[in-house]
């Protein structure tokens, strides 16, 4: 009798063998019920072994939850790679492949009763029904006028159930329970107007031809490096059309949930004739919506899937093309177990399933760009904007000089930016102001004793939010009442320091009282559809100025925007992270790309205290190649990615000394028999020394190869018994070093 290796659902990594009869169609990826000690349990079949004498009897499977596998063999192979590469448990990876809404037996398809018209009564009978049962008569005519001659029983009005039952008994209608799809963003569908393919320029046509070749004959991944406004989305749409024409499915990944609705809108508008074959997957869906979308995808009812990083596990049959938009974005990296990178997993899935993959960005990650230089990826370039207009003029202003001129150390708007905003307002043109810090003020500080209001749970200052009249921690969410005087020395002169988007909004209202503006950040977007409503108002020119954080940095196309102001461009430049310059360059370039996307020329004003920083100067010239050449030289010198792998081992605990001692012990053991070429830093406090009430210490590890590094760390962790209140986390290919 064959036996199956089953991964048991739950927090523990329990894998057991169970026997099953030959006639039971158990396959890898199937969901099964099994006996576990004295209770029933559910699990996922990892593999099937042929019948052999093990020397002991195996307990049999109870039954199959689903007769066909929920996880394909290709996705199982991908799961095993993720578990080994990122040092994660197989259980955590399976949870990512099969979301809770799919694994839980509490969720199911939504069923509702429909009334179908079978046949209309004769004229004589109809007259009798009209006289004796007017409700039945009304139902018959409602059904007859319906497009498919059926209606929901609940839509037929109060008391319709008994009337419909009488009509069913007479043979005129039938009442059938049918599955109802819970549609994400259903209120958005009515606004979608069908779009048609645009004429491509020579660069776009060349890129599309290359991608189509890879769809027909998959080879290496493609990196589509196109300046902002170069028409990458149109290339995506036409490549997707080609894949669908070959009876293949398409997976589209976007970095953030906020970008998902506009991407869905574009694809649904282009593929409106496909009778709703576009599915959506992201974490903001309800359990019911996710259940319905996931099963539509698995059953082949949806040929295009759009979503954030978790959508990489969508069970698409016959996958032909994967599109990873804004591939450089850090949000593709999962910050909880399993800590996979969506872009890298997408590349591996494309390899396993032999399909084409396109990574697109105006500012690609240096890892992807180096893969092009090494010949691992094919580089496709779009150097010109699709409308043949020039890129916006970028001006860099030294805010140190501006502060001296205005005799104000808290200057937000330079004279040039203020004048430029006034000019755009007079001309009826629109502007965007970007500041990557939300709230009103960065901190609350006493000028007398220097006391700063700190979060009691994290090693960060509390940010003042005027709309809530609260001090809020942007790490753990702790809130506090704003003190009227210094908590330490009781001086009433305690003052606000720095500024965020709320203060920009406040100052702008005083500078330009006639301007209509809105703010887009995590605070302003709490209500459902807030982002969509504001962007629609801006598109309709009901707003003059848009203020926002990185939520407005990419993917937005507004032809009437001619000015972009970047406030405090240094925020992310001076942090302890080797990618700081790369992120600053990417952010400035992406935000600058929102200007001049129509007939009018665009202008970008960058306000900075370090105007000569290479990242800012290369961004001013729109020179990605120059920046990449200089930055890659620095990375190579110090063996940072892409010239090696970098990981972080973090230990955290509510007891500071215990966390530090545990990491020192792990460090000592890691230094024993370490693989060749591996570099291990000293155990040090994390840049964010305390978070959510826990003290944090970390080690940074670098190695030419990833697998030896992961294997070495996992071997040490498995042999080390950690104190009960100490947690160790390993992050391979780390993005966040705080």
Strand order of the sheet with strand 31-36?
Answer: 15-19, 3-8, 39-49, 31-36, 63-64
Lowest mean per-residue pLDDT among 46-60, 114-128, 505-519, 698-712: 46-60
Instruction: Tell me the pLDDT band of 186, cut-offs 50, 70 and 90.
Output: low
Helices (H) and strands (E) in the chain, counts: 21, 31
From residue 710, give the alpha-carbon distance in Å to each of 85, 598, 636: 7, 49, 22
Mean pLDDT, the chain, whole residue set: 91
Q: Where in the chain is the domain with CATH 3.30.70.600?
A: 645-732
Q: Which of 144-158, 177-191, 239-253, 666-680 comes out lowest in average pLDDT?
A: 177-191
Give the Cβ contact number of residue 631 at 10 Å. Answer: 21
Q: Which residue has the tokens 């190649």?
A: 625
Q: What is the average per-residue pLDDT within 176-189?
A: 74
Question: What does the alpha-carbon distance between residue 564 and residue 621 come to, in Å, rounded to a whole number?
Answer: 16
Q: Which residues contact 461 (CB under 8 A, 6 or more apart)?
A: 442, 443, 444, 452, 453, 454, 455
- Whether the pLDDT of residue 461 is over 70: the answer is yes
Classify residue 68 by its DSSP letter: S
Q: What percentage of the chain reaches a pLDDT higher than 90? A: 63
Decide if pLDDT at 3 tops 90.
Answer: no
pLDDT tens for 485-520 read 999 999 988 888 889 999 999 999 999 999 999 999
Q: Looking at residues 581-597, what average pLDDT do you find?
A: 93
- Matching CATH number, 645-732, of 3.50.40.10, 3.40.50.20, 2.40.37.10, 3.30.70.600: 3.30.70.600
**In CATH, which of 3.40.50.2300, 3.40.50.300, 3.30.465.10, 3.30.2130.10 is domain 186-382?**
3.40.50.300
Model confidence at 674, pLDDT cuts 50, 70, 90, reads very high
d(CA 135, CA 113): 18
Q: What would the mean pLDDT of 659-670 be, rounded to a whole number?
A: 96
**Where in the chain is CATH 3.40.1440.60?**
3-103
Residue identified by tokens 């290919």 is: 733
Cα distances from 675 to residues 83, 193, 704, in angstroms, run 20, 58, 10
Asked whether the predicted pLDDT for residue 171 surpasses 60, the reply is yes
Q: Is it true that the peptide bond before 410 is cis, omega within 30 degrees of 0?
A: no
CA nearest neighbour of 706 among 672, 673, 734, 666: 734
Overall average pLDDT of the 691-712 stretch: 96
Torsion, Cα of 198, 202, 204, 209 (10° steps):
100
Does 87 have pLDDT greater than 60? yes
pLDDT greater than 80 at residue 54: no
**What is the per-residue pLDDT for 406?**
80
Does the pLDDT at position 266 exceed 80? yes
Q: Name the β-bridge partners of 307.
A: 253, 281
> In which residue ranges of the chain is CATH 1.10.10 found?
110-180
* Residue 170 clears pLDDT 70, i.e. is over it: yes
Q: What is the DSSP string of 506-572?
A: HHHHHH-TT--EEEESTTTT-STTHHHHHHHHHHTT--SEEEESGGGSSS---TTEEEEEE--TTTT
Question: pLDDT value at position 321?
Answer: 98
pLDDT at 283: 81
Domain 3-103 falls under CATH 3.10.20.30: no
In sequence order, what DSSP letters do the residues of 125-161 get, joined into one string?
Answer: HHHHHHHH-HHHHHHHHHHHHSTTSEEEGGGG-TTHH
pLDDT score, position 282? 85
Name the CATH code of domain 110-180 (choices 2.60.120, 1.10.3470, 1.10.150, 1.10.10): 1.10.10
Q: Compute the distance between CA of residue 275 and CA of residue 261 in angstroms, rounded to an integer.
A: 18
The percentage of residues in the chain with a pLDDT greater than 70, rounded to a whole number, is 98
- For residue 190, what pLDDT is reported? 54
pLDDT of residue 261: 76
- Gap between the Cα atoms of 677 and 675, Å rounded: 6
Is the predicted pLDDT of residue 712 greater than 70, yes or no? yes
pLDDT at site 159:
72
The CATH 3.40.50.300 domain(s) of the chain lie at: 186-382, 393-440+499-631
Res. 189: pLDDT tops 60 = no
User: In this predicted structure, what is the pLDDT of residue 501?
Assistant: 94
Q: Is 351 buried (19+), middle (13-18) or exposed (0-12) by CB count in 10 A?
A: middle
Question: What pLDDT band is residue 53 in, cutting at 50, 70 and 90?
Answer: low
Q: Please state whether the peptide bond connecting residue 566 to the residue before it is cis, i.e. omega within 30 degrees of 0.
A: no
State the pairing for strand pair 249-253/150-152. Answer: unpaired
At residue 242 the predicted structure's pLDDT band, cuts being 50, 70 and 90, is very high
Please state at what angle helix 90-97 crosses helix 73-85, rounded to 10 degrees: 140
**Burial label, 580 (beta-carbon count in 10 A; 0-12, 13-18, 19+):** middle
Whether 240 has a pLDDT exceeding 90, the answer reads yes
> What is the per-residue pLDDT for 51?
67
**Superfamily for domain range 393-440+499-631:** P-loop containing nucleotide triphosphate hydrolases (3.40.50.300)
């Amino acid at each position: 009798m064959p036996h199956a290796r089953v991964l048991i659902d739950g927090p523990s990594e329990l894998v057991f063998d169970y026997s099953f009869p030959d006639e039971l169609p158990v396959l890898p990826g199937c969901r099964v019920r099994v006996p576990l000690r004295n209770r029933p349990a559910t699990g996922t079949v990892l593999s099937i072994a042929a019948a052999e004498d093990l020397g002991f009897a195996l307990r049999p499977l109870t039954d199959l939850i689903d007769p066909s596998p929920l996880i394909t063999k290709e996705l199982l192979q991908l799961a095993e790679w993720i578990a080994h590469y990122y040092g994660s448990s197989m259980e955590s990876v399976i949870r990512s492949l099969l979301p809770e809404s799919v694994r839980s037996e509490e969720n199911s398809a939504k069923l509702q009763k429909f009334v179908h018209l079978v046949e209309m009564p004769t004229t004589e009978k109809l007259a009798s029904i009209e006289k004796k049962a007017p409700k039945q008569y009304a139902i018959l005519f409602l059904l007859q006028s319906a497009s498919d001659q059926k209606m929901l029983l609940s839509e037929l009005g109060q008391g319709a159930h008994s009337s419909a039952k009488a009509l069913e008994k007479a043979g005129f209608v039938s009442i059938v329970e049918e599955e109802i799809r819970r549609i994400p963003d259903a209120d958005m569908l009515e606004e979608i107007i069908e779009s048609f393919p645009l004429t491509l320029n020579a660069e776009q046509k060349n890129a599309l031809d290359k991608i189509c070749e890879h769809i027909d004959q998959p080879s290496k991944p493609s990196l589509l490096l196109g300046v902002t406004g170069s028409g990458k989305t149109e290339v995506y749409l036409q490549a997707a059309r080609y894949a669908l024409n070959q009876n293949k499915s398409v997976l589209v990944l976007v970095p953030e949930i906020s970008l998902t609705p506009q991407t869905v809108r574009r694809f649904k508008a282009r593929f409106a004739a496909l009778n709703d074959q576009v599915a959506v997957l992201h974490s903001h869906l309800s359990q019911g919506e996710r259940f319905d979308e996931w099963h539509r995808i698995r059953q082949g009812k949806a040929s295009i899937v759009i979503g954030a990083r978790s959508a990489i596990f969508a069970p698409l049959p016959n996958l032909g093309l994967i599109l990873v938009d804004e591939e450089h974005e850090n949000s593709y990296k999962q910050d909880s177990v399993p800590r996979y990178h969506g872009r890298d997993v997408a590349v591996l899935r494309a390899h396993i399933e032999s399909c084409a993959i396109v990574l697109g960005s105006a500012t690609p990650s240096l890892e992807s760009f180096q893969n092009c230089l090494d010949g691992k990826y094919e580089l496709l370039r779009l150097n010109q904007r699709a409308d043949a207009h020039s890129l916006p003029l970028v001006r860099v202003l030294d805010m140190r000089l501006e502060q001296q001129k205005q005799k104000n150390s808290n200057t937000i708007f330079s004279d040039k930016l203020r004048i430029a905003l006034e000019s755009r307002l007079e001309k009826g043109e629109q502007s965007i102001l970007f500041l990557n810090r939300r709230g009103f003020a960065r901190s609350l500080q006493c000028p007398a004793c220097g006391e700063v209001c700190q979060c009691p749970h994290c090693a960060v200052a509390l940010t003042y939010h005027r709309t809530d009249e609260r001090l809020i921690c942007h790490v753990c969410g702790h809130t506090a009442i704003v003190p009227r005087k210094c908590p330490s020395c009781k001086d009433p002169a305690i003052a606000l320091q720095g500024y965020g988007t709320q203060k920009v909004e406040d100052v702008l209202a005083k500078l330009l009282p006639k301007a209509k503006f809105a703010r887009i950040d995590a605070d302003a977007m709490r209500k459902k559809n807030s982002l969509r409503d504001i962007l629609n108002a801006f598109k309709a020119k009901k707003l003059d100025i848009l203020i926002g954080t990185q939520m407005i940095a990419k993917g937005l196309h507004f032809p009437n925007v001619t000015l972009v102001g970047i406030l405090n461009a240094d925020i992310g430049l001076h942090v302890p992270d080797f990618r700081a310059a790369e992120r600053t360059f990417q952010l400035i370039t992406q935000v600058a790309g929102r200007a001049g996307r129509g007939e009018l020329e665009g202008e970008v004003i960058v306000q900075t205290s370090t105007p000569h920083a290479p990242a800012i100067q290369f961004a001013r010239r729109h020179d990605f190649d120059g920046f990449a050449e200089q930055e890659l030289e620095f990375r190579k010198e110090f063996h940072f990615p892409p010239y090696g792998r970098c990981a972080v081992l973090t230990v955290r605990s509510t007891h500071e000394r215990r966390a530090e001692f545990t990491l020192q012990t792990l460090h000592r053991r890691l230094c024993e028999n370490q693989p060749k070429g591996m570099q291990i830093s000293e155990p040090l406090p994390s840049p964010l020394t305390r978070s959510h009430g826990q003290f944090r210490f970390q080690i940074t590890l670098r190695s030419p190869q990833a697998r030896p590094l992961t294997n070495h760390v996992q071997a040490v962790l498995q042999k080390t018994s950690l104190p009960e209140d100490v947690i160790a986390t390993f992050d391979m290919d780390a993005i966040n070093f705080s």
